[in-house]
Structure 1
Amino acid sequence: MPLITNLNNLLKGLLCLIVFALQNHTGAQVVIGTPNLGFSQACASDSFNSFNTTFVFSPESSLQSSNQFIIELSDASGDFTNATTVYTSSAGSITQSPATLNFDIPETTAGEDYKIRIVSTAPAATSTPSMSFAAYYKLQDSPFTINNLVSTGAYCTGGSYLLSIDNPGTGNNDSPLNYPSLTFNWYKETSATTSVFVANGPTLTVSEEGTYFVETNYGTCTSNSFSNRVTISEVSISGQADATIVSSLGNPYCPEQGLTTLSTIGGLSYQWFKDGVEIENATNQSYQTNESGEFSVQVDLGDCSASGSIELVSELFESEINVNETNQLFEGETLTIEITTTAANPEFTWYYNDEIIPGASQNTYDATEFGDYEVVITETSGCNASIMYQFTIQEGVDPFPDVDKIPNIISPNGDFTNDTWTLPLKYTTGTNTEVVILNEQGKVVFQTMDYQNNWPIDDLNLSAINQVYYYIITTTDGKTKKGSITLIK
């Protein structure tokens, strides 16, 4: 019995020690110092978003193995009521003081008075907030355009001119209007290097002469998100201002990139002209073209007007090929194809039945095979444009086949089948036979003593689906053949 009693007392003592130890650990506390910022401003973008803070805590022994450290970000005014968690450590990973943590900021961050604080979970504790700092996530950080990149604008005395951010704008313009959370500040230049704030918003109504531009509002963070400059002038009543015209693809421009857009200053109505001739239905602020020439515009500003012009130059080179789309070649013959071009440093690529012809890289090629051909001329400097020609070579048709009868139907459609009126050999060239063809009104449209099986030589401008002609064939011995010829359209 004494032995059992001693064992019971020992167990009770051990149990008390364990409870005491647990109570002591559960009641442990930690103090977290104010976080020190490793930056002065948090100016983030898609290419950079990493910031650090260092803090101390004590005692280290009070941290439980499940503890996590959390970084909370206030709102733009420094309020933590709806704090955002921007970092959470893994359980038990941070055990020594001081500690340095890295975090990034949300894309919605925009303001001058953000703060962070450090929170621990086991034991629970919260630091005092850090110093205030500016923080912006720069969703758009590249130059953008206003006024369609037109560098001027004008308003009539007593009126105004509207400047607006382009969306989408020309070329590769990355309009900040694509990001709804962004705000904008407009400025007016006061010198070549200084300016004053005018207003905010995506547009600006100008009623004072000067040069204006707009920047995306990223506070004290530097940014490349700014617009081109636009100089606004005032025009007297019934006066006329200069209307600047810009080409979206530049001038000279490369039509290989598509149509270039000509844009001018804003107004009430517009009329575009090419080489002094009014362009029908060209009555918008912009006009698209792939041509060269002098383009001008007349802009109605209300009580005054504006006009301007641009000598637009296309850099597309000129070229010609010396064969038709469809050609005939007899067995054993050669057809020489030649390209003439004004392209700078041209390259020539030849194809036969969709396969590159090895070694064919000059502006000429001697073809001996029937099939489909293609040649691509590429200008390797300047515009870097290409022009392609396609043509077919078919087996030649004997112009003087040995036929038995005079045909009364032909179909001159260029397919090399029944295209011409082909007579028996006893009436063709060398037989001194007279061939006369008359239209329905009896007028002679063709007459020869040396028929080459080549009528109709010219375009007959057929007005009917099946047009009828009449022929008279007279041989050297005075014999005649008469009949009709139906041309199927």
Structure 2
Amino acid sequence: MKKSSSTYGLLVLTLMVVILGASTMQAQILNKPTAAPNPNYGSSDPWTAACASSSFNQYYVNFTWNLPLVNSNNEFVLELSDANGNFGSPIELSRVSDKNTVFDFEFQFSVPNYVRGENYKFRVRSTSPSKTSPASDAYPMYYIDYNSPLLISENGSGSIPSGGTIQICDGGTVTLKPHNIPNAGTYKYNWYRSGTLLPQKTESITVSTSGMYYVELDYGSICSGSANTLSNTIEINTGSSQGIAINGSSNVELCPGDPYTLQANITGMGLTYTWYKDGTKVSGPTLEGDSFAINSNLVGFEGSYEVEIEGPSACKERSAAVSVQSAGSFEVALNNEENIVLLPSQNKTLSVSTTAASPSYQWFKDGGAISGETTNTLNISEVGEYYVTVTQNGGSCSVSPKNSAVTTVVSPNSFEFVIAYVGSYTSCENTDATLSLTTINAVGDGGAKTNVTSDLQSSFSYEWLKDGNTIGGETSKTITLSDHGNNGNYKLNGSLDGFNASSNTLNVKLVVNQALTISTTGTVLCEGSEPIVLNSAQSLEGETFEWVKDGTVVDTSSESYTVSEVGVYQLVIRTNDCPLTSNEVTIRAFDESLLVLDKPQELIIIEGETMTMTASGADSYEWFDYNSNLVSTQDFFGFQEEGQYLLVAHFGGCTVSRVITVVYRDMFAIPNVITANGDGINDLWILPNTYSRDQEVLVTIFNERGKEVFSQTNYENNWPQSTSTFNKSSMIFYYKISKGGKSLKQGTITVIK
């Protein structure tokens, strides 16, 4: 009968297992993994660099191994080195358990989002038996987590210069930096000047040489271009200062009509000139426009004048200012308020100040001159609009008279008050509040209002009202409330010379200045345990209240509340104007991870010494020895003898158990000779348990040429993995044992075959 090809293959495989597996001298050979094509894209070419991103992150490596078979519970684990090709803390990329009879297969993996470098390597580790393949060749691997164009600006300010040009003067420098990338300091960069790659890899670059500057993220020699991060270009120009200035005095006084021209001190150099008055451009930019004529006939010609130049090999530069003033100008200032309320039988005095030389005065009321009022003051007793005309009779220039501002004098029909909260106030959050008069308005014909606060606030008499009732003793323009019993509606009344004024109304709600506390019989909820009950420290009789879970009302009638679900609980009493809210009680679901031990459950101790383990997270603890005797109820216990111990931690009605295994530390020395001849005696390099099977301890072995041949954390006393790797009868190897980057032990191993 003709057998199928699969049946034939199985017979051959079985025969190989019988032949090769019969010899205890033979061991599995794990070959180094290699990059493989992606079968989902129909390509036959393996990848040469991994440029991964959120939109593409699927890669394959090929792995082969040789008989004999691994154990049935074996798993093959694909591991990645660090960016320098070291496996001190390998990254697990993939794990398979269904390839224990497949000698040639592919691992699929994704690049972790923190991987960036040129020299990553792979290796494959089997778990049963424990063996590790040689490291692969080095590959560039980058996770491209930012793939948008960068934007650069001076000092990363975010302000890109107009035209993309920055000028540096007199040997100065400028710092360029990207401003639109988060976590910018975690990347490396490629900076370019006019197409030439610069050596700097930093986030910012300080330059003093002219050229076209731009940057991209450094995702390596292959991945950088595909990331699309090339930035905008900033052109750096260099030049020198010319020392621009305006000739003549820095303070110029002109009479109206006097001609005057401002002249720059630099001319004839092909420069462009821009003239400014009070910071605003008034002329230019004009080639060779090195002068500016001031028209003193124009109103407002006075001001501060500057000139700015720019041009080839010259820095943009602005001069110091020249102040140009009118020789005959003067000012008139009003000494009183512009709005005045005049009460019946009341008099007021108006006055002005002036800088005019030998001034004369004429006062006006409602546009008409007041006979005989020719000084800088005026006594008034009537409503109206008043101003004064000031004439300068001295000085070098003839100038026009100038009017003062108008003072409006009114007689009110009524007054109104405006009151407001002083400082920060929020209803039902403050424990005190201050209210105060802020504005007094005189109300005239047609409802027109004039603010007369500063003039009259000290003249009124005041009384405060709460809910329409006068508050005894509160007769100032301010009131302070500091008890929730004072909650209510407040307003302020006042009187002056037969006028009565009233304010707006403000509502005050102050919180009760006391704490509402709830307690609980437990905080961990588990099946079968005693119920958790919440209780109030304050009696709830006669109160309107709510038990609240995660912001939702769950009960409004029970003075104590029995918890049936995890969540955050509070009690709210609503009988007062403002709700009184308790502390929060968080009820958690039972989780064994709540128990935390400060040491591993497998302890290695030195015989005759004590090692203390401390537990945390539970309500109480029980420690039992290897004979099931209760030895402690503290949160810690000191171990002195070998054996298995039991810790029982109580969380209310819930318990968590942990078995603690204690062994004595091996005291034998690290061996420096092994006989790898396959006789089962001294074939492996066995380390004391101080250094073996510890995830933080790295064991590295080098051959006589210094090449790394083995590197493993959590060393399982499994080197060498095969005797066939020794081609001489006696070979010397070097080992190094380290933890956290610090060397613990190093020496030699002689392998005799």
Asked if TM exceeds 0.5, the reply is: no
Return the structure number with greater strand share: 2
Which protein has greater RCO, CA pairs closer than 8 Å, 6+ apart? 1
TM-score (norm 1): 0.44
